[in-house]
Structure 1
Amino acid sequence: MIEIPGYRLLRQLGRGGMATVYLAVQESVDREVALKIMSPALLADPNFGERFLREAKIAARLHHRHVVGIHDVGRAGDYHYIAMEYLGGGPVLAKDGSTREPAFALRVIREIAGALGYAQEKGFVHRDVKPDNILLRDDGSAALTDFGIARALDSTLRMTKTGAVVGTPHYMSPEQARGKPVDGRSDLYALGVVLYEMLVGRVPYQADDSLAIGIMHITQPVPVLPDGIGALQPLIGRLLAKQPEDRFQTGQEVAAAIVEIERRLESGGLPELHALQPMTASRHQTPLPESFGAAEPAPAAASGAAERAEPSLGRIDQIVAALDGDAIRAERSPAPSGRTPRPGTPRGGLLAIGAIAVLAIGAVFAWSNQDRLRALLPRTEFNDTLSRAQRALEAGNLTGKQGESARELFLAARAQDPDNDVARRGLDAVGRQLLGRAEAALKAGDLVGAREALNDARELLGGGAEVERLDASLKQGESRGDEVGEWLASARSALDAGRITGSGGAAELYQRVLAGDKDNALALAGLQKVADALAAQARSALAAKDVTTAAARSDDIARILPAYAGLPDLLGQIAQAREAERVALEETVTRAEAQLRAGRVSGSEDAALELFRAVQKLDPANARAKAGLRKVAQAFVVQANAAIDDSNAGVADKWLTQASELAPDLPDLRASRANLRELRERLAIGAERSAPTPAQIEQVRRLVAEAGTAAAAGNLIVPPGDSAYDKYRAALAIDGNDREALAGIARLPARAKELFAQALTDGAPQRAHALLDSVRQIAPDDAAVPSMTEKLVNAFLDQADARIGEGRREDAVRALSTARGLAPGNPRLAPLEARAQALAAKP
């Protein structure tokens, strides 16, 4: 029985590949806890124990209502353990896969999104959000568990066909499926999958193997919710967006969006969800925002003196502006119906008293606001000046000395009232328009006019960033005249020296002149010479079959002198060259694909790897070359797996390294790397195991003898199980250090070459072909493979030549087909194929 000091185990709650969870009592505080105890079998690797405790301590740093609390972490003897909050409600999804009501699902997702947002702020990514890791408390609230615990040993993991441990992919984000770095947005994608599963009763993507599911996460569209819950489609769509930047960026954003949906449900919106789940409206509903169709609050109706509003004094300008009209309306309006004065009321006396009170209050008010009221008195002359100034401004009459310009009139108005806002704003508008005139004059090359307008603007605006910027530009323009001659001389020197483009080149210098004087004849003629020189460079590049450089020079011409007369013809030549290059690339990539299908993956210039790389060098975006290199990487992984099966860790590592360079995101790489680690562990264990028993030694001797017999008979790799190669491997599986078995398997390539040469001498190229394949399988890096291939190709071509002479067309075609598969670029192929075709035309 397991004993953890300080804890009393009650019963087992669950078991996984990494740990077992018990319901226990923490005796020091008499508290029920979930006690997670790591399997002692994992102590063989000390990394697991350190990882278990380290990641548990990280989880303990997350203090959040919806993250399972960690009470204690430690080790007792051979047992690492974590004491955490016990949640009696179980996982969020039932084992029978039944769906959850929308209101419940939304609340759970909102709570977990808040937990993920909190963890994201702390710098942590869960990486394994799924229903089994979302537990319910007795009160129904949800909490996230297993934060930071590695998925590699989680109970939901399984073994693939190759024996590699991988995680269940149903909740992986597209970037996680690709093996790319992930952040908190990946957790939000997984949370979207959980929401979909809670609503629909199944995960959105289903297939027979993990690779297919991962591809579906990457390529398939966001799933559509069934009728009845389609109102939640925008939420699902944003959670399951393929690109992280298109999703919610934080858990808080998810929670906020769900809060709005819940408020909408409370107010009676989304009736289709109400039909699924009857909801009790809150007695104190929060008003909905406009984005969810909330009505504006209705104004409160008056209800007599009990709800009388406190009086308030309006703005003084509003009161004064309304005095005349309101007073007149008050005098002329009859009393409201039902409000006639009561008989016997001393109305005249009351009115007199009221008038005196109003006059007294008005006097006090007028005295305290006399400056404000004075500004409201009619000022005919002043207003006329402002009106004329505004008309002058609108007419563009900004400055002058006749007293009718906007500048003069606004200045006159300001002299009458220095604090008048209208005059101040008018002078500012005049200054701004003068700045615009100065800018336009500068662009037109009118430096005198620009300086005059700028000085006037400075006087009105008193400086500022725009004034200083324009002043700097104007000073530069004023000093530009002296520089133009120097620029022209430097441009001529640069053109003579072949410095055409780039900083300090002839093109830049001529363009600098034209920027200030667009009609400068010397600069225009210089640009024509620049274009001529660039066209000459482009034609030289085309002659050298360097289409990229030629296109770059044509782009330079189009940028510097778009109207260059020779540009259309040059572009036509480049287009033809590109088409020829495209055809050549297509032929190369087709040959590379044929080599890949024939199994000639690498090792020579005509192998698939080198051909694909040659295409990609000329056309980095070529889709077929990219796909081909990815297939080459897959082939390398296959070679690595074969080496792992042969217990050859060094060769496997070499193949996996090459595959990683070509396609680092290849899904099978991780599995093969894991298998390689296991192989090295087995080899290390095997190196330390005891010597073979006498019976095993006798079995090894027998297998080595049988292997020698098979090799002498030419049965090198076939038949399977009885070939020399398999017999030697069986012997080495018993005793990996047996010298005779090691020497025998090392002699097999030489024996295959010997039999290959004999087959060619006997005129049996098909037998030689099988022996070449034996060498490739046993020793794929053997330096003799290319020369053997060439000899075999010539043997098949000689055979085809002979069959054509004998009139045996079908035999000739078969031999030519084999030769083409081995060396599609052999110069003898085309003539022989033409002769074979001619045989078909004969009667």
Structure 2
Amino acid sequence: MATVYLAIQESFEREVALKVLSPELLKDPAFGERFLREAKIVSRLVHPNIVTVYDVGVHEGHHYLSMEYVPGKDLKAKRTGLTRAQGLQVVRDIARALDYAARKGYVHRDVKPENIMLHDEDGRAVLMDFGIARPTGLEQGMTQTGTAIGTPHYMSPEQAKGKPVDARSDLYSLGVVLFLLITGRVPYDADSAVAVGIKHVAEPVPRMAAPFKIFQPVIDKILAKNPDNRYQTGMELVEDLDQISDDDLRRVDELIELAAKRLQDNQTDPDSPTLISSALDENQTGEIQAANTAEQDAVAMHWPQSGQGTPVRTVVQAPASNPFGASHWLRNTALFLLLVVSAVFFLRSYLPAPWPDQVTEWHHRGLDQLVQAGLPLDQPQWHWLYELGGASHSTDRASGGQTEPVQTPQTEPEKPSVAAPSPAPKTPPASAVLPAHADKVLADTRPVLTDDGLRAPAEDPVAPMDDPFARADALLAGLATDLSGLTALADIYRVQMEVPENRARAQQGVESVRAFFTDALQQALDQRDLERVRELLDAAHKAFPALADESRFRRFERKLEAAEAIEALLAQGKAQLARDALSSPAGDNAVESYEAVLAKEPDNVQALAGLKAVADRYQVLAASRLKDGDWLSAKGMVTRGLRIQPKHQGLLAQSEQVARLEQQLRERQASAQAGVQSAQSALAAGNVFGTSGAVAQFQQVLALDPQNQAAKEGLAIVTQRTLDNVRDFINQDQFGRASSELALAEPLLGQDPQIRALKNELQQAIAARQPRLDDVRVGAVQPLTFDGRQGLVQGVDRTIYIGVQFSNFDTAAVVQAVLFDGARSIQIAQVPVVLSGKQGEKIFRIDRPVEGFSAGGYNIDLMLDNRLLISQRFQIVE
């Protein structure tokens, strides 16, 4: 998709990784869109364990992305050199990165070792390549409907099926990485992407050997098929990994490294490139398996580089399918067997003696396919297969069952010309029906991993193929870790039941199977491993239907149903607690869910812890209410919490605090009641204002009890009386008494909007009833008119005439008329003017006999008791 260069950003003189999209891909706009989307996504994710993006853009047609340069190598290159502690730290770092990305709303969708860089300088793991990431809630995108995008070995089941994914899918992929770092191999492997996807969807979580059991609970949870059963956040995974101490790691480190070294040569490359392939349809899984059986069971031949010795082979194992499938499956099986026969006769003509030990496994795989197809092996037409088995088996014994590692040839050697001798025909006994998975019980010469380390295998761990009870014992011994041999075991006992002399021993075997299931089911129930219980019961029903119908197994079914019901109630309670549905509403709250669990299982630790968590939550809510001063709501929270946990220390302390607040409130309410009575007495006695008046006492009551209704009503009465009295005085033109009443009320009631409005009303009334001059006119001659505006004064010699209109004068009053120049810098004349009557007009004159009035501007002010009544400006012109 792109080429990445190590570059220098000149503006900052720093090394950067410069990612440049291939011009060929830009012919399809989708690639450029995906490239820019990656930059936009990662640019929003600023975290020490996520690669930092500096810049993105297009230059001369080249799409580029500049991001943090991480010196070091990816996890694919370095994983075999990491200690177990370092590997777990890598997983913690990436879990934190995924947790942060999930909180930002993004899913990576391709978590694998190639996309995890290990920083050489500080050792931190850095998550790379968000090229196929997408926002969690995005319904439409660049991925076609019904396709799976990602890397097959690391895909979650829902991702393999092309279903919508969320952050829990990334955690599943990280779980595969964790499994790889622990064991040196991926949990599911096959020859094709489809086969790997089927295993992710259908196969159970692998059970680990004893040295690895410390990791099993984490692996079981992170690789759960149902996302609801996985870790819900990356931090939950980190918390569980933190419980694994360094001492625990040291105890298993040497065994794990030895096992990883042993497995490294046999494992296919789990670090395969990202693929986009057709998603798995759950309804078509069986058809996919059947249709690909012939191809997936093919045998690839490789010759050693030296050109000598026995050819070695790679056998590709197909996913298990229905042993009694459709007719096309039988046709594919027949074709497969024909190919095997052809290969056998060809090789027997050209290969040197002895017969190669690899044919042994082909022989048993051929028998296995016939058994799965439900074909009778005691018919003459299959004798050639036993003939082949006789020769191959004897050679396998002679060689110890050892096979050489697969090598890729560089040059093809000459074919040997020596033919192997043909063995004598061998007729199988009537009871020799092979188990459906007989290849699993063949001699295994690889070292065995135990609690004490690696040891060599026994010379002959499996009894001869003609001893069905020995094979049955081997299969029975392996059931603890692998239930896949159960069908074969049932087939053996079913056949031996038909042989009278073997019936008692077969019945003993069935009893051993019954004992195994009884112990395994009880152990799984004790450990609350419900997936294991369901797996065991399903396997028993499939292989031993009559056994599974017994009352003891039905009891286990009922116990499982009860345990599943309890798990559902616990999950429901957890969800209700998360959304604060603590003890209400009825029928949908955490308390009812946890109590329903305890009704079924009184000592259930999770339910008891859930009720404790509910009480803890009530304590938090009560503290919040107390901080806001709402002690009454806090009291309700404390009361509900103590009903659930009567001895909860935090709630008991809060209960005491609420009780103190309640006592203080009672004391304040008692003081307030006494204050109300005193204020009402003062009001009745006419002592309204002043420090000991009714108003002051009512206000003191409200300071103690802001909600005291009696005090509020008392203040309202005082306010209304003051308003009524002042308005009466105004209407009677008793402005002095009105002003006095307001002067008493204003210090205590001045904030009341009605009092402020009344004060303005009084001022307007006083102003309306004071003596006033309504208009002034200046002229050179009499009479003067008061129409229009003051005009220019012409024809003035030594006298000007001034006329005024007056009103609200009760008795004769003397008004002083003062004449100024236009700048008001010189007083020219002052003349007393006597006004008689309530209202009217008055004309008077001002003389200037010597100098006369020159042209220019003038001002005339009329004043009463040094208070300006009116002022007029006028202009004299020639």
Whether TM exceeds 0.5 here: the answer is: no
User: Which of the pair is proportionally richer in strand?
Assistant: 2
- Higher Cα Rg: structure 1 or 2? 2
* TM-score with structure 1 setting the length: 0.28
User: Which of the pair is proportionally richer in helix?
Assistant: 1
* TM-score with structure 2 setting the length: 0.27
